[in-house]
Structure 1
Amino acid sequence: MLLSRALIIILFALLWPSTISAQATPGRSAENAGYVPTDTCAGCHQSEAAAWSGSDHAWAMRPATDEWVLGAFDDTTFSDGAVSARFFKREGQYWVATEDDSGKPGEFRIAYTFGYFPLQQYLVEFSGGRLQALTIAWDTRTGDEGGQRWFSLYPGQKFAPDDALHWTGRYQNWNAMCADCHSTFLKMNYDAQNDTFATTWQEQNVGCQGCHGPGRDHVDWAENQAEPANEGKGHGNYGLKVDFDAMSSDQVVETCAYCHSRRQALKDGQHADESYLDKALPATLRPDLYHPDGQIDGEVYVYGSFAQSKMSAAGVTCLDCHDAHTAEVLVEGNGLCLQCHNAQPPERFPSLQSGDYASQDHHHHPMGSEGAQCVNCHMPEKTYMVVDPRRDHSFRVPRPDLTLSTGSPNACNGCHDDKTPEWAVEAIDRWYDWPNQPPHFAQALGAFRQAQDDAFLRLAGLIRDSQAPAIARATAAEHLANFGSRAGSAVRSGLLSDEPLVQAYAANSTAQLPEDRRLGALGPSLSEDQPRAVRDQALRALAGVELSAFPEHERAHVESLREDYERRLHELATLPGTRLNLATYLQRAGRPSEAMAHYREALSMDPAFTPARVNLASLASEQGQIETAIEVLEEGVARVDIPEADRGHLGYLLALALVEAGRVPEALSRFEQASSLNPGNPRVAYNHGLVLARVGRLESAETVLSEGLSRHPEDPGLLNAMVFVTLQQGRMRETLDYARRLQRVAPGDPQVRSLIRDLERRLN
């Protein structure tokens, strides 16, 4: 469950009155909801239960007893710089002595283990029904592998007690961060008013019913040989809620996807038999999670990678490679891939090309070497949580050419780190006679990340490319929101896609369009036939639209959807990101006081959560509360736990707020600070220069703008400002030079053309 602050998924949430009472200790739900006791399945399915018993799923969460605790609690002290802890036993229980949530020494009883290989974490009970995960973990690998030791999940870092990454903080909270995938049918039962939990589960770990769904009907069939309640649904009418034999390949993958993906939960408590997009919205190929070509960067749990792959498009499922009960691969080594990638591919996958992929003619490395292993070229790995290497499941062909154009890594240079990407490109071209590699969605996503001039056109092309993976097209839909109403046509193309994931992200991006265009475009997205993910995103985009604007026959339906949406947001209001997005929703809906309360709540959970601080300050300014905006921004700029670039952005906004408040000398000082912290933002130099010009300091303005242009020579704002400043000083020939540069950057601007003609006439 280790996450950096930058990688925290932004979810949706709502602070709303609740009648849930706090439960001191998480435990099994009193309502069985169709589930049966954990041990029931083993009576008939002994071999499957035995295989499962040693799996990651079986070890997902266990009581802290001698049977399950793997760490050395033998009065051992671990230190990593300023972070230390002593692990010991007392009266048969496991304990840790470490810093508490006020920064003072404390002793805490270990309640549960969490995972087991290659590391095991430990959970401590706190008031309000919370469980918190220690950020010092036990390395369960063998001693020869470097294991059998305590280690910090954040090596060399120490977090203050009020930091959300402190072990007692919000981002180490089991209930909100990781519980729903380490237990079966877990419900957080969060009380947003009191910030407490009454969390329950049906199975403490990921048991049989975590994947097969509630087992009551199946047990009734087995005991009575009676027709089950879901007659006709399953493969053999055995009362199975999830019958893998009767499912499509997409359904099989999506059964695993909820827990094996970065996602936004749409409800509290998820069943295996629910459609994936009815309970979650998967994250796109965002810069904090993926490289431009879709390779893993952040901790993304496989599904987002696999969804990009040709394997997924061909109908391959998780169970073609992994045993359903042990979760281990079916065959070790290259034999796993050669099940299909051989001279006679299975009939089930007609799109696979036949070939001798195990030969040196294919991989061009000595037989038996690391370079001859399929996974090292097609599934490069990255290590997370210090000791946990995970492989990219996009099964990509190495593309060093994309390293040159987008900065994405490639498997060739991952091993040959003493060589250049150009060397790798030449080798690929020579080996495979492939000098002109096919287009890739990385080119569009990379253009957006690099703010290239053609980024919009590339994204518009990607969202319409039916051959591109849906997750890449959804990413284009998400990014197009940055282009405002200009993106209207492209976003509408996304709404017409036959991929619900693309529709969902396109729906949210329509928020930038005028109200009448949104209403016309999003009507079909609110249909009950749509997955909940699509409906929810449409509701967000339509948040500010009065109910009376909808056709009369649709109003009751829309009102019902909105009520349900806010109820679910309330259930999930557990993290800074959920509060942020709910506040944004409320702000769109014209409820500014509620929105500001939620932004403040997000900051109380994590004072370093910059998006909430930015939105709170902006909304306060819009509401005429400029001194409040200044105070909020000053607090952020002063925090040393916020990255410099973010502090620079906050300082820039603070400078603008000070200008608005008439405090220009202070604003100029803040502009200088923002420029030093975040020199990559040309808007800082642009506004700094204009404010200097406004107070008559034209030479200083020119210096600031020139420095900005040295870093951003084609920024139209800076060029425009230089046109103004030089013209104010009567230096028309220099003005003409800047105007011509501006025309090359923005050739379609008629005002620039007119200015150039006027200057040329006056100078001649």
Structure 2
Amino acid sequence: MTGRKLLTLLAIISLFASSCVQKEKNQVTENEYSGSESCIQCHERFYELWAPSWHGKAMQPVNAGFIKEYQLPECNSIEIEDKIYQMIYEDSSMVMLEMEGDDLLNEYPVEYSLGGKNVFTFLTPLEKGKLQTIPLAYDVNRQQWFNYPESAVRHFGDTGEEDQALPWRDRMYAFNTACYNCHVSQVSSNYNLETDTYHTTWKEAGINCETCHGPSAEHVRVFQEAEEKEEEPEDWKILVTSNFTSEEHNSSCAVCHAKGSAITKNYVPPEPYFDHFTLATLEDPDFYPDGRDLGENYTMTGWKMNPCIQESDLHCVTCHTSSGRNRFADNPNAACTSCHDEKQGDGLVAHTMHQPDSEGSQCVNCHVPSREFVGRFIRSDHSFRPPMPEATIKFGSPNACNQCHHDKSPEWANEIVKARPNGDYQEETLYWAQLIKEAREENWDRMDEMLEIIRKNKYNEVVVTSFIRLLVNSSDEKKWESIIEALNENESPLVRAAASSALTGNFSEEAVNALITAASDEIRLVRVSAAASLAGTDENQFSPEEKKVVANATGEYLNSMVARPDDWSSHYNLGIYHQNQGNAQKAIESYETAARIYPEALMPLINSSVLYSYMGNAAKAEENLKQAVKIDPDNEAANLNLGLLLAEQGKMQEAEKALKTALEVNPKQAVAAYNLSVIVSQRSVEEAIEFASVAAKARPDEPKYAYTLAYYQLQNDQKVAAEKTLGNLLERHPIYLNAVSFLADIYMKDGRTNQAIQLYKKTLKQEGLPQAEKQALQQALNALQNSR
């Protein structure tokens, strides 16, 4: 294609081919990988099953063999990000063209494919050693090309923001950053933080035998020796997965089939999943409130909600082979009837209300329904829960009834479900899902019910964890008792880790003692979460033994943040750690590193701006915040912090604009509303009252907001309203002395001295009043009584 503008490659990612060369005995170590082809001699049948599987083909080179096998059509043109993209074949290779009108801007050689069961995505090399997912993907079922970035929108939950697709060149689409661990085997990203470059290497494309069984070179050697001696070795020098427990099987699979992040550099089966990874739960807007998948969530969270695993030894390999196949493809119901034998024969029809040979009588179609994401990607719901059409009505989540009967309404399905003998089975999920929805919206009217779920460990560990994580957004201190209790007593490491994280900023004796205990937990995720929360605690209050425990956990925590040095959030979290330690300079350095790696990230810019302001560099603080607003003009945190900073500098007009944006994004943003009330009070008391009222209603736990409202009401000759506001405030905060003095002053100016005296006497009877304030109040009371 003469004259085309070729893409310049600044770094090339190398691929190490697997080797079948036999080594001398003294050259082999127990940590050496010999590649899947070394398994053929003794395990030919297993190799033949694995090689063509989608585990074996998780990543494939795009070459003449690939093109011949799949015969994908060329793609004429798809518009993406105001450019036209085409896929063509050239010399037994695939090339993506980027066009603007009739002008060729770039051509991208396609080197690898990912997936292929339902969708093929493709990789092209970019600068700095990145393999990037291109914006054209191929739908195998529909046999058509489509816009891949549109399939990976970011969900914003109930924030009012529209779901958005990331640009295709975004770092999150880089194979080296996001995909590599689950598509190739024995991989090293070889990331250089200083230059922000990759030199990624791997042993084999696809998920090979040694991913689950560990390095096999020594295994091959000892069995070759055993063959010569005609005896079986005692130690097979390999991981034998048939000896794994249910939890070990689940952990080994979850490494790729879970939405979470790594806290270590390497995972070796069958170690516990939570020794190496976190797990997203329903605080994540990629889930509907009832736990059904809204985004790409990779099974594990739903699996943890599965009632079957709580009541049996069911695990991933019960139903799937190690190569990912369905063990029960020929008789799907056999996977369930081994436990649920009453659901066979006549019992099957009674249970399903469908004919025995119909799709409606296959267990998986109702309990493990497959669903398309953005009409392309197919995932199965592994929570094994029954269809819940009422959840569709309330939350918009999918249900199996209407996935099959798509010409019917959820209301139609719900009537049928409720007519069943056990027709109330949806109620439990609907109850806690509504509470999840309210917690996401920061509506804490039913907090007592949320805390009861945590305290009594109701439903499952995903639900409990979700509430603990969501309660981080509440300032109500009554949450602490239940969270501390969960940390001390809950059997789930997921729950304990969430509780550890939730205690950040709580320096009470009970919280600190619980966190110190958690710092020696048997599971690493709990330990590092506890260490993160203890970062701001004065270590002088620890005993020598406690210092040692906390130091060990802190070391693990710091290591967890460099497990993925190319992940901006690792450096962001490191910044938070240094900030909690009181080291502002190191915190800024970490925040700036995060922003350098991923300029689109907002929180490093926002957090660093706070520290710059604290250190007296207002100009740099303002620069970072304005950069954050430029990236996301409607971001609440960026506009709030910018508004506060500008107000401090006396730039009131700009400050008002930023604070109003924050309040528009979040109508319950009390800090923005309060500061707006102060700013606008210079020109309009009526407007100040409106903003102060918003702040007081949004944060009844913060007495200064209601106090400010009463102040402006009195300024506006609304004395009755001011008295009512102060009265309500003192009902909630009876020892808030500013309000006591303010209300007493109103009484005295009206000549209602007796009411002022009664107010002081009532306040003096309140528990928790500091001695100095009590004496001052008593003196004021005495003065009033003597003046009569």
Shorter-chain TM-score bucket reads 0.7 to 0.9
Residues 376, 282 of structure 1: alpha-carbon distance in 2 compared, 3 angstrom cutoff: same
Residues 205, 361 of structure 1: alpha-carbon distance in 2 compared, 3 angstrom cutoff: same
Residue 110 of structure 1 and its aligned partner are, at CA, apart by 2.3
C-alpha distance in 2, partners of 1:368/1:74? 37
Residue 77 of structure 1 and its aligned partner are, at CA, apart by 3.4
Counterpart residue type for residue 530 of structure 1 = E
Per-residue displacement from partner, 1:313-348 (whole Å, max 9, x unpaired)?
Answer: 12211122223335235235752554335435xxxx
Residues 411, 719 of structure 1: alpha-carbon distance in 2 compared, 3 angstrom cutoff: farther
Residue 128 of structure 1 and its aligned partner are, at CA, apart by 3.3
Residues 227, 666 of structure 1: alpha-carbon distance in 2 compared, 3 angstrom cutoff: farther
C-alpha distance in 2, partners of 1:326/1:701? 63
Residue 360 of structure 1 and its aligned partner are, at CA, apart by 4.0
Aligned position for 2:486: 494
Pairing of 1:721-760 with structure 2 (within 5 A): 721-738=708-725, 747=732, 751=736
Query: Does the residue aligned with 2:108 lie in a helix, a strand or coil?
Result: strand
The answer to whether 1:431 aligns with 2:431 is no
The answer to whether 1:262 aligns with 2:255 is no
Aligned position for 2:453: 462
Native 8 Å contact 2:251 2:273 kept in 1:
yes
Query: Does the residue aligned with 1:511 lie in a helix, a strand or coil?
Result: coil
C-alpha distance in 2, partners of 1:158/1:553? 48
C-alpha distance in 1, partners of 2:396/2:736? 37
C-alpha distance in 1, partners of 2:208/2:655? 59
Match of 2:325 among 318, 324, 327: 327
Counterpart residue type for residue 735 of structure 1 = A
Residue 175 of structure 1 and its aligned partner are, at CA, apart by 1.0
Aligned position for 1:154: 149
Aligned position for 1:85: 85
Query: Does the residue aligned with 1:264 lie in a helix, a strand or coil?
Result: coil
C-alpha distance in 2, partners of 1:685/1:491? 30
Per-residue displacement from partner, 1:399-419 (whole Å, max 9, x unpaired)?
Answer: 455567766554456666787
Aligned position for 1:582: 574
Native 8 Å contact 1:192 1:570 kept in 2:
no
Aligned position for 1:49: 47
Q: 115-124 or 514-523, which moves further after superposition?
A: 514-523
Per-residue displacement from partner, 1:248-279 (whole Å, max 9, x unpaired)?
Answer: 21111111011100111122232233332222
Match of 1:591 among 542, 563, 583: 583
Q: 38-47 or 90-99, which moves further after superposition?
A: 90-99
Per-residue displacement from partner, 1:507-542 (whole Å, max 9, x unpaired)?
Answer: 222222117555422233333x62221222122122
Residues 560, 716 of structure 1: alpha-carbon distance in 2 compared, 3 angstrom cutoff: closer
Native 8 Å contact 1:164 1:171 kept in 2:
no
C-alpha distance in 2, partners of 1:737/1:487? 29
Residues 172, 724 of structure 1: alpha-carbon distance in 2 compared, 3 angstrom cutoff: same
Residue identity (%)? 25
Residues 411, 93 of structure 1: alpha-carbon distance in 2 compared, 3 angstrom cutoff: closer
Query: Does the residue aligned with 1:43 lie in a helix, a strand or coil?
Result: coil
Residues 647, 391 of structure 1: alpha-carbon distance in 2 compared, 3 angstrom cutoff: same
Counterpart residue type for residue 669 of structure 1 = K
Native 8 Å contact 1:293 1:442 kept in 2:
yes
Residue 34 of structure 1 and its aligned partner are, at CA, apart by 3.0
Residues 96, 416 of structure 1: alpha-carbon distance in 2 compared, 3 angstrom cutoff: closer
Per-residue displacement from partner, 1:436-477 (whole Å, max 9, x unpaired)?
Answer: 844764354233123233454334322333453223222233
C-alpha distance in 2, partners of 1:654/1:357? 67
Native 8 Å contact 2:87 2:97 kept in 1:
yes
Match of 1:240 among 238, 257, 269: 238
Match of 1:25 among 1, 11, 14: 14
The answer to whether 1:664 aligns with 2:652 is yes
Counterpart residue type for residue 58 of structure 1 = G
In the superposition, the TM-score normalised over structure 1's length comes to: 0.82
Native 8 Å contact 1:671 1:688 kept in 2:
yes
Pairing of 1:531-610 with structure 2 (within 5 A): 531-545=523-537, 549-553=541-545, 555=547, 558-559=550-551, 561-563=553-555, 565-610=557-602
Counterpart residue type for residue 283 of structure 1 = A
C-alpha distance in 1, partners of 2:227/2:501? 47
C-alpha distance in 1, partners of 2:62/2:371? 30
Pairing of 1:19-418 with structure 2 (within 5 A): 25-27=14-16, 33-69=31-67, 76-81=75-80, 82-98=82-98, 105-141=105-141, 146-147=142-143, 149-155=144-150, 165-225=166-226, 237-241=235-239, 243-313=240-310, 314-331=312-329, 335-340=333-338, 342-343=340-341, 359-365=348-354, 371-384=360-373, 386-400=375-389, 410-412=399-401
Native 8 Å contact 1:380 1:392 kept in 2:
yes
C-alpha distance in 2, partners of 1:509/1:158? 28
C-alpha distance in 2, partners of 1:78/1:620? 48
Residues 706, 326 of structure 1: alpha-carbon distance in 2 compared, 3 angstrom cutoff: closer
Native 8 Å contact 1:72 1:87 kept in 2:
no
Pairing of 1:522-537 with structure 2 (within 5 A): 522-527=515-520, 530-537=522-529
Residues 403, 379 of structure 1: alpha-carbon distance in 2 compared, 3 angstrom cutoff: same
Per-residue displacement from partner, 1:346-381 (whole Å, max 9, x unpaired)?
Answer: xxxxxxxx6768644323356655555433432344
C-alpha distance in 2, partners of 1:734/1:227? 97
Q: 536-545 or 433-442, which moves further after superposition?
A: 433-442
C-alpha distance in 2, partners of 1:407/1:181? 31
C-alpha distance in 1, partners of 2:725/2:200? 63
Counterpart residue type for residue 722 of structure 2 = T
C-alpha distance in 1, partners of 2:561/2:663? 38
In the superposition, the TM-score normalised over structure 2's length comes to: 0.79
Residues 49, 477 of structure 1: alpha-carbon distance in 2 compared, 3 angstrom cutoff: same
Native 8 Å contact 1:27 1:199 kept in 2:
no
C-alpha distance in 2, partners of 1:410/1:680? 33
Query: Does the residue aligned with 2:65 lie in a helix, a strand or coil?
Result: coil
Native 8 Å contact 1:181 1:206 kept in 2:
yes
Once superposed, what is the RMSD of the aligned Cα atoms?
4.0
Query: Does the residue aligned with 1:638 lie in a helix, a strand or coil?
Result: helix
Aligned position for 2:625: 633
C-alpha distance in 1, partners of 2:353/2:678? 59
Query: Does the residue aligned with 2:189 lie in a helix, a strand or coil?
Result: coil
Query: Does the residue aligned with 1:288 lie in a helix, a strand or coil?
Result: coil
C-alpha distance in 1, partners of 2:202/2:145? 29
Q: 666-675 or 532-541, which moves further after superposition?
A: 666-675
Counterpart residue type for residue 224 of structure 1 = E
C-alpha distance in 2, partners of 1:663/1:638? 19
Larger Rg: 2
Query: Does the residue aligned with 2:383 lie in a helix, a strand or coil?
Result: coil
Residue 303 of structure 1 and its aligned partner are, at CA, apart by 0.9
Native 8 Å contact 2:532 2:554 kept in 1:
no
Native 8 Å contact 1:212 1:273 kept in 2:
no
Residue 306 of structure 1 and its aligned partner are, at CA, apart by 0.5
Residues 411, 614 of structure 1: alpha-carbon distance in 2 compared, 3 angstrom cutoff: farther
Native 8 Å contact 2:153 2:166 kept in 1:
no
C-alpha distance in 2, partners of 1:510/1:395? 33
Match of 1:480 among 456, 471, 485: 471
Residue 111 of structure 1 and its aligned partner are, at CA, apart by 2.3
